[in-house]
């Protein structure tokens, strides 16, 4: 399962680094289960690159922070998936 296709985000602040802004957008979507970002949903680097018009390196920074926040888990050879609230330590 993958998130719903959403329109590219163009309202990022150009005076600030993009990756923390993207983490905030995706974190909010994951927290609300919005746009199909539900537990178990696959998120790819390519999806982030396409939606936010960013380079692969930027998408990598986004994934590193999402993993640190326990919002996604990466299963090597499989991909990155939205975590269940219980995996995040939420009730």
In 3D space, the residue among 43, 34, 35 whose CA is nearest the CA of residue 66 turns out to be 43
Are the C-beta atoms of 66 and 23 separated by less than 8 Å?
yes
pLDDT digits (tens, 9 = 90+) for 64-79: 999 999 999 999 999 9
**Spatial separation of the C-alpha atoms in residues 60 and 22, rounded to whole Å:** 11
pLDDT digits (tens, 9 = 90+) for 16-52: 999 999 999 999 999 998 888 999 999 999 999 999 9
Q: Tokens for 74?
A: 């990466």
CATH number of 18-83: 1.10.10.10
This prediction's pTM: 0.86
Domain boundaries, the chain: 18-83
**Spatial separation of the C-alpha atoms in residues 28 and 62, rounded to whole Å:** 14
């Amino acid at each position: 399962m993958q998130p719903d296709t959403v329109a590219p985000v163009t309202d990022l602040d150009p005076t600030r680094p993009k990756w923390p802004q993207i983490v905030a957008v995706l974190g909010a979507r994951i927290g609300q289960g919005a746009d199909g970002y539900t537990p178990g949903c696959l998120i790819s680097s390519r999806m982030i690159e396409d939606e936010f018009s960013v380079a692969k390196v930027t998408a990598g920074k986004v994934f590193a922070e999402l993993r640190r926040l326990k919002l996604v888990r990466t299963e090597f050879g499989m991909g990155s998936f939205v975590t269940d609230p219980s995996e995040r330590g939420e009730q």
